[in-house]
Copies of this chain bind each other. A is one copy, B any other.
């Protein structure tokens, strides 16, 4: 990393901001300021990375080399006026916000640094394997964003905002929605007086199978053939209406995918 590793301002103190700041700090970068609207959050993270906590964006150091915006998509636009005319590189870390958010903000050097991972403050991340999707306003800044991304990982890919948005959507299904299936499983097993851990071999095998075959090919269970006898038994066991609807919608979708695959295989 060249010019970007001298002085860094992190805007945000959530899960992504915390992990990025800690990694940069551990790599010897100098984190100048941590901004959060919440004083406590700013202090907690600032303390960890030897930075100054700020809760007022007007106090942002205008002479930093790099500004990393890791706030909710909604909040990005409201941060940018405070960075007008800075000479440093400004990046946001969102999967869904386009690069066009920076336009007409009098910011000259900008880009996107999206690390595709599920970050929880409690759990350490091995950044080495995390894919980073990057974008920038021009070649020179792309070079800088790429150098920044490579501090974290060797898996750095340049994408358009449109591609990145689809990748982020994919990540929501592969991570958040998958994890929610685990949450629903945990709730169902609780009713049966069985610990979630008994699912471990099944969960592992489900993941392992996708290394050998496509998920559609790997699919098993009652929804593939739309086995109404089993499905109705299951639906009677589910009390929560929303969970019932999820069961029905996903089963219909599994069946549609299986039928499509069978048709294609027979062609």
Most B CB within 10 A of own CB, among A159, A209, A242, A250: A250
A50 CB within 8 Å of chain B: no
Check if A206 sits within 8 Å of B179, measured CB to CB: yes
A120 to B256 alpha-carbon distance, docked (Å): 19
Check if A192 sits within 8 Å of B178, measured CB to CB: no
Beta-carbon nearest neighbor of A232 in chain B: B96
Q: Is the interface of A mostly helix, strand, loop or mixed?
A: helix
A227 CB within 8 Å of chain B: yes
Check if A223 sits within 8 Å of B192, measured CB to CB: no
A48 CB within 8 Å of chain B: no
Which chain A residues numbered 79 to 128 have a C-beta less than 8 Å away from chain B? Answer: 96, 116-120, 122-123, 125
Which chain A residues numbered 225 to 267 have a C-beta less than 8 Å away from chain B? Answer: 225, 227, 229-230, 233-234, 237-238, 242-243, 245-247, 249-250, 252-254, 256-257
Q: Mark A194-208, 1 if CB is under 8 A from B, else 0.
A: 101011011111110
| Count of identical protomers in the assembly | 2
A29 CB within 8 Å of chain B: no
A210 CB within 8 Å of chain B: yes
Known: A179-B215, A207-B203. A174 touches B170 (CB 8 A): no
Check if A178 sits within 8 Å of B182, measured CB to CB: yes
Check if A180 sits within 8 Å of B229, measured CB to CB: no
Stretch of A2-10, A137-145, A183-191 with 4 or more beta carbons under 8 angstroms from chain B = A183-191
For A130, list chain B residues within 8 Å (CB): 201
Beta-carbon nearest neighbor of A184 in chain B: B173
Check if B178 sits within 8 Å of A203, measured CB to CB: yes
Check if A172 sits within 8 Å of B215, measured CB to CB: no
Check if B118 sits within 8 Å of A209, measured CB to CB: yes
For A118, list chain B residues within 8 Å (CB): 202, 205-206, 209, 218, 220-221
For A23, list chain B residues within 8 Å (CB): none
Check if B167 sits within 8 Å of A215, measured CB to CB: no
A22 CB within 8 Å of chain B: no
For A209, list chain B residues within 8 Å (CB): 118, 120, 123, 179
A150 CB within 8 Å of chain B: no
- Among B166, B172, B184, the residue within 8 A (CB) of A192 is B166
A63 CB within 8 Å of chain B: no
For A1, list chain B residues within 8 Å (CB): none
A243 to B140 alpha-carbon distance, docked (Å): 39
A28 CB within 8 Å of chain B: no
Check if B123 sits within 8 Å of A212, measured CB to CB: yes
A177 to B209 alpha-carbon distance, docked (Å): 14
A65 CB within 8 Å of chain B: no
Check if B167 sits within 8 Å of A202, measured CB to CB: no
